[in-house]
Amino acid sequence: MFPKLIQQLIDEHHYPLLKGGEVTDFLEQHRYSVLFFCNDAKLFPESLDVAVILPELINAFQGNIVPAIITRDDEMKIQRNYGFTTWPSLVFFKDGQYLGVISKVQNWDEYINQIQKLMQQEPVLPPVKIALSQN
């Protein structure tokens, strides 16, 4: 069960709640998408801030980015695919391929600038896959 602010994203904003096996299908269905990894809001209270900010970011990009939330049960397993270690994190994709991650709460302008840069770049390998390919 999520805290109220995160649960509102699912219930009121209708953000899908994805299990591990559903992530790839979701990402491939959308030009631009973002996965919200919130972890335990008691341990990472900034997750509640991101839960408030995320709908505003989606609106700022005129709905061109489709958000989803990762289930708590599968979050750690899925997180390993993207190489981030800081919570909360927003992981961005283009046509199902990794663009990058924004972790923790940012200033509004930083969010906008970082997301614009991510959307303009070509997909890259997530850091974890780069490290594996170098070994």
Average pLDDT, integer, range 10-35: 97
91 vs 130: CA distance, rounded Å: 16
Query: Where residue 13 falls among pLDDT bands split at 50, 70, 90?
Result: very high
Two structure tokens written together for 112: 């906008």
If you ran DSSP here, which 8-state letter would residue 13 be given?
S
Two structure tokens written together for 17: 């709640």
- pTM score, two decimals? 0.94
In Å, how far from its chain's centre is CA 7?
16
Q: Which residue has the higher pLDDT, 132 or 30?
A: 30
pLDDT at 23: 97
22 vs 118: CA distance, rounded Å: 23
Q: Are 13 and 25 in contact (CB under 8 A)?
A: no
Residue matched to tokens 């695919």: 81
62-71 pLDDT per residue, tens: 999 999 999 9
98-133 pLDDT per residue, tens: 999 999 999 999 999 999 999 999 999 998 755 445
